[in-house]
Chains A and B, each alone.
Chain A
Amino acid sequence: MLKALVSIFTTTVLLAGTASADTVRIALIDPLTGPMAAAGQSAIDHLNFHAKTINANGGINGDKIEIVGMDNKVNPQETLVQFQKAVDNGIRYVTQGMGSSVGSALLTAVNKHNARNPGKEVLYLNMAAVDPAFTNERCSFWHFRFDAHVDMKMNAMTSWIQGRDDIKKVYLINQDYSFGRAVAEAATKMLKEKRPDIEIVGQDFHPLAKVKDFTPYVSKIQSSGADAVITGNWGQDITLLVKAAADYGVDLPFLTYYGAMAGVVTQVGEAGVDRIYQVNEYYGDFDDPDMADQQVAMYEQTGWDYYWLRLSTMLDMLQKAADKAGSTDPVKVAFAMEGLEVDTPTGKVMMRKQDHQMQMPLFISVLKDDMKYGAEGTDFNFHKIAEISRDEVSLPSTCKMRRPDNA
């Protein structure tokens, strides 16, 4: 009896010991409740979905990935609390994307933590906070960005607009915080360079995730005589904006950063066809058979589309870097990640060493009906109409990075 108890006890202790040594935990600090929850929920499900594949194929350097969701309600203060919680739990990798305001707070916190706790460094894997400053004047060795930043996306979008002579008057509507301001600024500057004849007939900033009724903004756009709208809105703000435009029968192209985000297609449907454009590394043709299989499997298992392609890329790069370093220690992984190049279903991408900004091709796509793979269970999805190559998208950086010298 006693023997049996002892043996049970020792096996449980041993099992617990091996389980924790074999798991690399990544904390996702993003909105999992509230108006922006769709963005965070779809991201965590995508991460879990892809982590399962990686774990089944041997994990990262032999260890399994585990994703830990932490709700920050898109609030910088809440983010710092959650970050501290992650650190206290011994988590060494954090990922975040919704909101550059949040990303800014997190970047400062990670830098501070790493300076004060050598040997316990944390890496910030940025999947969507696209304020250009993070990989320019504020660049940090501890931060890696897996999404093209505002200026790169605007660079791609304006390159495409260059060939569209029918666009002469543009309206800018954006969220009132660092990211939205950066979009408006980039649009104004780059349009002036590439298409000086284009007139910006209106510009609005609205509070982040607070506006329920976009109809007043839509009436304003309608009466301004614009023939295209540029917006960086995401989450609920893009869904409700295009929904209000659709309700009002506004027949203008909406050039968006995040038009394919979860919820938009359901809300807009037919009315968005040939009107909603997006610039992204993702589009909905699924011309890569492997990616098509992933889309089908993921929609079946989670109810979300394979929208967060770059999250798969992020985990793939993490795996490659850990294998290359022969370790899952964040510092070694960070050095291995620099200059790393991987294949994705939509082209080769590379993590630039100078500023830790991923270099990637971008695509312009537009919502179409009767697509082979529909989004959100409909027949609508985003069809690729233009590709902007990695070199064309790329922008120089002012980053002069300070690297830890003990490696």
Chain B
Amino acid sequence: MLELVIFSALNGVLYGLLLFMLSSGLTLIFSMMGVLNFAHASFYMLGAYFAYTLGMYTGFWPALILAPLLVGALGALVERFGLRRVHANGHVAELLFTFGLAYVIDELVQMIWGTVAVAYREPSYMREPLFTLFGTDYSIFRGVVILISILMFIALWYLLKKTRVGMMIRAALTHGEMVGHLGHNVPRLFMGVFGFGCALAALAGVIGGPLLATEPGMAATLGPIVFVVVVVGGMGSLQGAFYASLLIGLLQTFFVAINASLADVFNALGANLDPYGEVGRISLATLAPMTPFILLVLILIFRPRGLMGELEP
């Protein structure tokens, strides 16, 4: 039992941190530009594929730096020559633009890298166990992923709270026009934030690719969950996104781990559900992949502004 709890916690935290890396960029872009970037998960996918292709020439570590930089630059270009022009036509046009962009990227990826998963794997020495607990190995790579995620979180926090650029970004979040009047180049700031957000997504792709398979469907599977994170955390709140990511990661893994049915849970709460009925016998493990969406519905009903959000969605 103890081993199950420990490993589920480790898995949940790992998954949660990956989600956070992905959603932090999205929530940053949203709070600053008011744009819900539907193509965000596509940039995550591009990160994985870029790292796979670059990695064949440079090895894993240089690709870890280069792929996010490339995707970041691509994101900046998209903002400069796409979003900025569409911006004049309002939010709906922006939404439609990113929506279309997601499709374009998906198709391009299939044309370039094929419809089948590519063999993108972590270097072999990182497959060795970092530690072995109760006969289960925990690979070095998983440790590295956790480390990178935490470093990224600290770096992001430092950037936003302690640097001049961070101050400008925070100011532009709420008082964009004022920042502009003070002589700062707000459109360039937007471009930078959009590119930076895409680079974060790509970084998640570089380390998520070997963990969860690099294939053209990877954007479509994680995309909806990232939006759940942003809504549950509260639109535009980085801290909220952090808690929501961990919550979803842990919820999903522990639901798989627990051997109980719906009837067990509800009856423990005092309800009277037939343990052999159609609904009662559904096991929690079967529900696990649904948990983010159940959470989304509950949050929207009972706390529409999310865990830490200040804005009404």
User: Is there an interface contact between B119 and A220, defined as CB atoms closer than 8 Å?
Assistant: no
With contacts A207-B289, A216-B8, A249-B129 taken as known, whether A38 is within 8 angstroms of B135 at the C-beta atoms is: no
User: Is there an interface contact between B252 and A216, defined as CB atoms closer than 8 Å?
Assistant: yes
Stretch at the interface among A28-36, A107-115, A142-150: A28-36
With contacts A37-B115, A216-B8 taken as known, whether A222 is within 8 angstroms of B136 at the C-beta atoms is: yes
Interface of A is mostly: mixed
B177 at the A interface (CB under 8 A): no
Identify A223's interface contact among B3, B211, B289, CB under 8 A. Answer: B3
Interfacial chain B residues near A9, Cβ < 8 Å:
none
B54 at the A interface (CB under 8 A): no
User: Is there an interface contact between A223 and B139, defined as CB atoms closer than 8 Å?
Assistant: no
User: Is there an interface contact between A204 and B285, defined as CB atoms closer than 8 Å?
Assistant: yes
With contacts A222-B136, A223-B3, A249-B136 taken as known, whether A213 is within 8 angstroms of B289 at the C-beta atoms is: no
Which chain A residue has the least Cβ–Cβ distance from B258? Answer: A220
B99 at the A interface (CB under 8 A): no
- Taking the closest CB of chain A, its distance from the CB of B113, in whole angstroms, is 12
A7 at the B interface (CB under 8 A): no
Which chain A residue has the least Cβ–Cβ distance from B18? Answer: A213
Q: How far is the CA of A249 from the CA of B137 in the complex (A)?
A: 5
Interfacial chain B residues near A205, Cβ < 8 Å:
283, 285-286
The digit string for A208-227, where 1 denotes a CB below 8 A from any CB of B, is 00111101110110110000
Q: How far is the CA of A19 from the CA of B70 in the complex (A)?
A: 50
Identify B116's interface contact among A38, A243, A247, CB under 8 A. Answer: A38
A75 at the B interface (CB under 8 A): no
A273 at the B interface (CB under 8 A): no
User: Is there an interface contact between B135 and A217, defined as CB atoms closer than 8 Å?
Assistant: no
B86 at the A interface (CB under 8 A): no
A240 at the B interface (CB under 8 A): yes
User: Is there an interface contact between B137 and A247, defined as CB atoms closer than 8 Å?
Assistant: yes
A53 at the B interface (CB under 8 A): no
* Contact residues on B (Cβ < 8 Å of other chain), bracket: 35 or more
Q: How far is the CA of A167 from the CA of B42 in the complex (A)?
A: 45
User: Is there an interface contact between B115 and A219, defined as CB atoms closer than 8 Å?
Assistant: no
B4 at the A interface (CB under 8 A): yes
B275 at the A interface (CB under 8 A): no
User: Is there an interface contact between A236 and B285, defined as CB atoms closer than 8 Å?
Assistant: no
User: Is there an interface contact between A248 and B119, defined as CB atoms closer than 8 Å?
Assistant: no
Given A204-B256, A247-B139, A263-B116; 9 other pairs, CB 8 A cutoff:
A37-B115, A202-B259, A216-B12, A216-B257, A219-B8, A219-B257, A220-B256, A240-B213, A267-B121
Identify 19 residue pairs between A and B in the complex whose beta-carbon atoms are under 8 Å apart, listed by A's number.
A32-B115, A33-B110, A34-B217, A37-B115, A37-B116, A41-B116, A202-B259, A213-B11, A215-B253, A219-B136, A220-B285, A222-B3, A222-B7, A223-B1, A223-B134, A247-B142, A248-B138, A263-B117, A267-B119
User: Shortest 7 CB-CB distances between A and B: which pairs?
Assistant: A249-B137, A216-B256, A219-B7, A212-B212, A37-B115, A223-B4, A216-B253
- Which residues of A are in contact with B by a Cβ distance under 8 Å? 32-35, 37-38, 41, 176, 202, 204-207, 210-213, 215-217, 219-220, 222-223, 236, 239-240, 243, 247-251, 262-263, 266-267
- Which residues of B are in contact with A by a Cβ distance under 8 Å? 1, 3-4, 7-8, 11-12, 15, 110, 115-117, 119, 121, 127, 129, 132, 134-139, 142, 211-213, 215-218, 221-222, 252-253, 256-257, 259, 283, 285-286, 288-289
